[in-house]
Amino acid sequence: MNTKHNLFITLGTILIGSLAGLSFSGTKQASPMHLTGWQESSVHLENSLLRKEVATLKERITTLENQLNWSEESRFQQGREFLLWQEVISSLDPQGLLRNAGVFDGLAVEGVVEPEELPAPDPAQERAEVIAMSVRNLMASEGIYELDLLEVGLLQRNAVGPVVYRMLDDRGRLVGSLSAQSMHFEASATARTVTLILENGYESHGGVRSTFAERRLPFSFVDPWPWVESVPELFPNFDAGQATPSGVDDGKYDLDQLRKNVNRLLLADSANGYFGIKHIDGVKDEQIRGLHIVEYSSKGVASKHMFADRATILMGDRGVSILLEDGASMRGDEKTAFLRGRFRIFLPNARQGDWKAAGLPGLPGVDE
């Protein structure tokens, strides 16, 4: 009896364990399927909410665009109406309208206030303003940003002033100022330079002033013709015909032979170096025009190039000198405008008799 009872208990325990294992196994297998279905439902819900939100935003954007277009159109229309109203008001003559309507009939004449006449504009002031605008545009076109013209005074004789410039660094920051009583320019068509000349002024940095009688600021590699055409009043010493192939040669000299003759004379004194002319545009009024001259070392190596719109051969007590005007010198890539527009080449060992015999422009002949 006890044995049977124990057997039944054992079989029951095994059966219950098997069923429990099957139940647990079934639950474990069904769990992933249940979780996947829940996730898909959640994703669908999120997508639905996002679609509704996007649709709402699109509708809002369309509404705002319509409101913006309407506002712009309304503002444009108001602007047109305002301009039209200004034109109407400016064309009205209130006193004329009242007078035509008979409002002033029977009133004393002195009771009517006539409008005051505006003073006539000053031509010098108007021209000075045009010059200031032209100078700003010319400097900007040449990439000259370190100077900014702020103020100009009146047009004077061959100058304008007083003037005030701001001085800027390469980042456009203020570093100082230049003030002068007058401003004008010099130019060299041959050397392609424009020189800004300020007279009787001062330079200021951080409140510290340094005065000057003249300040020359050369702009290198600049075509001077637009400057001369825009502000001719500020180029008092510029000859419109200088250094141009046409109009600078009066035909009295064979230019190639002239160049060879001068070079022969220059080469006669070559112990410590010498000069040589590379090009001449012409001769006019006994001046050599459009001159390119090179300075050589004693070994024949070119050390400096000089360009001048005009050159004059001169003789003093001894030797010969060549006066170059309105030009610049170049050493390597560095160009330097002539100081005060002039550069003089001295040839102290030149024999004046040889130069006179060569029949050069501006020099008297041997028998003169």
Q: How do the domains of the chain map onto residue ranges?
A: 123-234, 255-357
Contacts of 232 (CB under 8 A, 6+ apart): 238
Q: Would you state the pLDDT for residue 170?
A: 85
Rounded distance between C-alpha atoms, residue 2 and residue 81, angstroms: 117
368: how many CB neighbours lie within 10 A of its CB?
6
Whether the pLDDT of residue 22 is over 70: the answer is no
Q: Of the candidates 118, 107, 115, 179, which has an alpha carbon nearest to the alpha carbon of residue 147?
A: 179
Whole-number Cα distances in Å, 267 to 39, 301, 308, 349: 101, 14, 20, 12
| Gap between the Cα atoms of 43 and 66, Å rounded | 35
Query: Does residue 121 carry a pLDDT above 90?
Result: no
Rounded CA separation 198/11 (Å)? 123
With a cut of 80, say whether residue 16 has pLDDT above it: no
Q: Distance between CA 30 and CA 249 in Å, rounded?
A: 110
pLDDT at 181: 95
Among 8-12, 40-44, 290-294, 354-358, name the one with the lowest average pLDDT: 8-12
Chain centroid offset of residue 324 CA: 31
Q: How many CA atoms lie within 13 A of 281 on its CB side?
A: 22
Range in 139-143, 154-158, 238-242, 253-257 the model is least confident about = 238-242
Q: How far is CA 262 from CA 55, 266, 297, 298, 358, in A?
A: 90, 6, 18, 18, 8
Nearest Cα neighbor of 168 from 191, 189, 193, 149 is: 149
What is the model's pLDDT at position 240? 57
Contacts of 264 (CB under 8 A, 6+ apart): 358
> Counting Cβ atoms within 10 Å, is residue 237 exposed (0-12), middle (13-18) or buried (19+)?
middle
In the chain, at which residue ranges do the beta strands (DSSP E only) sit?
Answer: 147-156, 159-168, 174-188, 193-205, 208-220, 274-284, 287-296, 302-315, 320-331, 334-337, 342-347
Instruction: Give the span between the Cα atoms of 78 and 95, in whole angstroms.
Output: 29
Provide the pLDDT for residue 67.
81
| 277 CB neighbour count, 10 Å cutoff | 19
Q: How many CB atoms lie under 10 A from the CB of residue 243?
A: 24
Which amino acid type is present at position 176? G
Residues 6+ apart with CB under 8 A from 342: 323, 324, 325
Residue 241 has pLDDT above 90, yes or no: no
Give backbone dihedrals phi and psi of 123, rounded to 5 degrees, phi first: -60, -35
Which is more confidently placed, 348 or 200?
200
| Cβ contact 218:337 at 8 Å | yes
**Alpha-helix runs per DSSP H in 160-301:** 224-230, 255-267
Peptide bond into 162 cis (omega under 30): yes
Choose the weakest-confidence range: 88-102, 188-202, 236-250, 265-279.
Answer: 88-102
Q: Is the pLDDT of residue 347 over 70?
A: yes
Please state the φ and ψ torsions of residue 64, each to the nearest 5 degrees: -65, -40
Extract the tokens encoding 268.
């006669």
Q: What is the mean pLDDT of residues 56-75?
A: 79
